[in-house]
Amino acid sequence: MRVGVLYSRIRRDEKLLLEALRDRGHAVEKIDVRDQRFGLTATTAPVEDLDVVVDRCLSTSRSLYATQFLETYGVPVVNAPETADICADKAKNSLALAAADVPTPETEVAFTTDAAMEAIESFGYPCVLKPVVGSWGRLMAKIDSKSAAEAILEHKATLGHYEHKVFYVQEFVDKPGRDIRVLAADGEPIAAMTRAADHWLTNAAKGGETAAFDLDEAATTLVERASEAVGGGLLGIDLMEVGGTDSGAYTVHEVNHTVEFKALTQATDVDVPARIVDWLEATVAAFDDSDQTDIDTDEVTA
């Protein structure tokens, strides 16, 4: 298998993946997206003979544009740009989950500070204000009072980027001091862990303590449905337990498309990079089978 890894920085996650691919005997082409040019019909990136390109771009904008160009050239890409487009935008993410009847926190989007304040007041305090694009828990705010809401909205209104003028307001879910990150490949869980903290943000990037988590049937089913809702692929699906750790009820608050997995390798006994390579091998085999079916169909038609 000839695998391209599209990146903008080689982090611990990419090192683990590259090592697992090479240990399996696969040829690897590292593609630094910062050095490439993408034209309407061709690119400077060495992708002609690759079986698949794995998008590991740290930058959301680079990821979205580069994968769309590669798909246009007929290069198989994971995750697909359609999935990336949904997962990269929290509003689109929420809409996709809701459309698939996947439990997700109540959410409203507003475009002015006045309308955003009305949304906040309708949720009551506390509620949560998030940027529509972002990761690692950055620029997220738990709003506990009207004065805090007014101050935060004023700050966002003065920031230059248009995305700060999209006010994404969400109900506050009283989770039991932790959430659950599941790495799944086309809806099948690879590994899961809890992320716990005294702070309301429990992201591992924010210092949350991680521990292995055994998914029950309800959580496993929800992971599969959430994956399908955004188009499938290698995804990080974040669940919150509703009503306590023993309730057996979950809500999906986010699906991530360029998911980090180094914390999972430390928190669980699963060889996460090896499982990812297993999935890539199966995905490429499916691509090849599809191509062969197309050829056979053309021959019959001729």
Structural domain span for residue 197: 178-269
Same domain? 25 vs 66: yes
Rounded to an integer, the average pLDDT of 95-106 is: 98
Give the DSSP letter string of 17-66: HHHHHHHTT-EEEEEEGGG--B-SS-BSSS-TT-SEEEEE-SSHHHHHHH
Does the pLDDT of residue 204 top 60, yes or no? no
**C-alpha to C-alpha distance for 302 and 296, rounded to whole angstroms:** 10
Same domain? 14 vs 81: yes
Same domain? 39 vs 71: yes
**C-alpha to C-alpha distance for 175 and 250, rounded to whole angstroms:** 10
- Poorest-confidence range of 101-110, 174-183, 266-275? 174-183
**How sure is the predictor about 167, in pLDDT bands with cuts at 50, 70 and 90?**
very high
Residue 99 lies in a domain: no
pLDDT, one tens digit per residue, over 9-50 is: 999 999 999 999 999 999 999 999 999 999 999 999 999 999
Mean pLDDT for all residues in the chain: 90
What backbone torsions phi and psi does residue 53 show, to the nearest 5 degrees? -115, 130
Residue 30 lies in a domain: yes
Residue % of the chain over a pLDDT of 90: 76
Residue 301 lies in a domain: no
Same domain? 184 vs 140: no
**C-alpha to C-alpha distance for 29 and 45, rounded to whole angstroms:** 10
**How sure is the predictor about 298, in pLDDT bands with cuts at 50, 70 and 90?**
low
pLDDT, one tens digit per residue, over 216-250 is: 999 999 999 999 999 999 999 999 998 777 777 99
Residue 95 lies in a domain: no
Other CB atoms within 10 A of residue 68 CB: 16
pLDDT reported for residue 258 = 92
What is the tally of structural domains in the chain? 3
Q: Give the CATH number of the domain where residue 228 resides.
A: 3.30.470.20
pLDDT reported for residue 41 = 96
Same domain? 23 vs 83: yes
Sign, Cα dihedral of 249, 103, 145, 130: positive
Q: Give the CATH number of the domain where residue 32 resides.
A: 3.40.50.20
Same domain? 120 vs 57: no
Strand partners, 90: none
Q: Give the CATH number of the domain where residue 118 resides.
A: 3.30.1490.20
